[in-house]
Every structure is written in C-alpha cells, then in structure tokens.
Amino acid sequence: MPPDQVGAALAAAARHLAPTSPTPRLDAELLMAHALGCARDTMLLTRQGDAAPAGFASLLARRATGEPVAYITGTRAFWTIDLSVGPGVLIPRPDSETLIEAAVAHFGEAGPANILDLGTGPGTLLLAALAEWPRAQGLGIDASETALAYAARNAGALGLADRVQFQLGDWACGITARFDLILCNPPYVETGGANIGPGVAEYEPHSALFAGADGLDDYRRLAPMIPRLIAPGGIAAIEIGHTQAAAVTALFAAKGAHCTVAADLGGRDRCIIVHG
C-alpha cells in the first residue's frame, strides 16, 4: 500500500505514537476518521485505500505532544451518546459508565422521574441517563461556567434541552428538593501523589481531578449533603477511585447512610451506591 494512503498512514502513525500513548493504533484511527470526516468504522471498512488527508499530520503532531484525542477531535462517546468536549472540561471515561449501569440495575426500564447530577461537567452522566429514560427530568450542577456551556450545547445537540436544567453551584449547596437518582463524579485523585496517565494533568482541569492529599476532600463535603436529597426508594451513584471504597463508605456511613459498592468492567471498585 502506498505510504500516502490511509492504511499505510495509520500504520506509520501508530508507530509514531507508540512511545507516548498507551493506545497508539486506536488514537491514530480516531484522528484519521476525524480528518476524513467520517465514522471510524466507515474509515476502517471502506477508506483504507483513499489518500490520507492533508490535515492528518497536524492532528497526529498534537497527539504526540500528549494532547488528549477528545480535545483534538472535540468529541467523546459515552454510554449511548456522543458529547462535545474541549479544554476546561473533564473528558468522559468508560469507567464512569459504571454509575449508569448501577442506576439501570436499580430502576430498570421504568427509570427515575427526576435526576440530579452534581459536578455535571459537559453533561456526561446526566445526559446519558436522560437518553436512557425518555420520561425523566434532570438538573445538572457545576462550579465551572465553561463546563456548563458545554453541557447546554450537548443537551441541545441531543434533543434533550427541554428535559434538563443546568445551573452554577457548589455541589448541593442550596438544593432542597429530593431526587430519585443522584449522580456524582467528584474529583478523587490524590494531589501530587497519583499517576493518572500521560497528558491528563497537563491538559484537563485540575479542579475536576484533584481532591487533597488523600483524594477524599470532596467526599467529606458530599457525605452530609447527598443522603438527605435521595427520595424514598431512590439511590445516589457516586464514582470513586478503585482503592477508596472503604474510606468513602465510612464517610457516608458516619452520616447514617447505607451504602453498597459496584465494580467496573475491570472488576475494580468504581461506584458507591447510597440507598434512600
């Protein structure tokens, strides 16, 4: 295959990214599909012999410096939806789908009537839940105006704007209503102590990542807030670092909450479920 065709360019790009990326081939494919303006599967199935687009080299150079693929392409898939993302917002991770899976296991097809998402970011968890349950309504809170702007755009693009509200806030401060489902992915990385992967600390917002010397600062604030906001029969699904289950459960148990733990697809503790 000539070196200027998509297939050969992908192979060369994967080799180029191998020293700096844990997923060099996938990164190359996502960037190539973006440069071609098509879906990745379409590119893989039908575009291998096409000429590699001129813009691919510049995208590849950005990724080689550590810039996240999602920031370069401006989009990230999560659950059943695609979200617009960019600098200033936390990039959705597959591990966070554990929270949606826990909610589906609890509510089934009927779903919750109302949902609160604390630290909504670009709307990741809330919009995924609203897409899952077409009759639900949602409220997303975030301390970042940048994140809320992305969330509002994503809601509009997904046709969910009439079922969701977003507002600037400090976790659940000032919230008095009760919700069937509360979702929350707080910062939980130990400041200066954890290896969170190449490019993460350099590009993603520290306010969405780091939470003090032990990574528990925001759970200490959330534990007194969340249990009182869960409607009877409802739950709160809260993301945790995979070593934090005991510590976070203890914080909520000290406030009288009953908690269980859900694991992600890798078998690691990923979600504390607080039962109403």
Per-residue pLDDT band at 1 (split at 50, 70, 90): low
Question: Can you tell me which residue has the tokens 């929350």?
Answer: 184
Decide if 72 is inside a domain: no
- Do 43 and 101 fall into the same domain? no
The string of pLDDT tens digits covering residues 80-139 is 999 999 999 999 999 999 999 999 999 999 999 999 999 999 999 999 999 999 999 999
The string of pLDDT tens digits covering residues 183-238 is 999 999 999 766 677 788 899 999 999 999 999 999 999 999 999 999 999 999 99
Helices then strands, counting H and E runs in the chain, come out as: 11, 9
Decide if 138 is inside a domain: yes
- Do 201 and 226 fall into the same domain? yes
Q: Which residues constitute the domain of residue 169?
A: 78-275
Whether the per-residue pLDDT at 3 is higher than 80: the answer is no
Question: Can you tell me which residue has the tokens 């919750």?
Answer: 112
What pLDDT is recorded for position 193? 62
Decide if 33 is inside a domain: yes
The token pair at 52 is 């590699």
For residue 259, the domain's CATH number is 3.40.50.150
For residue 5, what are the β-bridge partners?
A: 51
Q: What angle do CA 181, 206, 199 make, to 5 degrees?
A: 110
- Do 175 and 87 fall into the same domain? yes
- Do 229 and 174 fall into the same domain? yes
What pLDDT is recorded for position 198? 79
Per-residue pLDDT band at 276 (split at 50, 70, 90): confident
The string of pLDDT tens digits covering residues 191-205 is 976 667 778 889 999
- Do 23 and 140 fall into the same domain? no
Looking at 25, 41, 65, the residue that finishes a domain is: 65
Residue 49: Cβ within 10 Å count: 11
Cα dihedral angle (175, 125, 242, 228), rounded to 10 degrees? 20
Instruction: Answer for the pair 135, 113: CB distance below 8 angstroms, yes or no.
Output: yes
Whether the per-residue pLDDT at 4 is higher than 70: the answer is yes
- Do 270 and 225 fall into the same domain? yes
Decide if 71 is inside a domain: no
Number of domains in the chain: 2
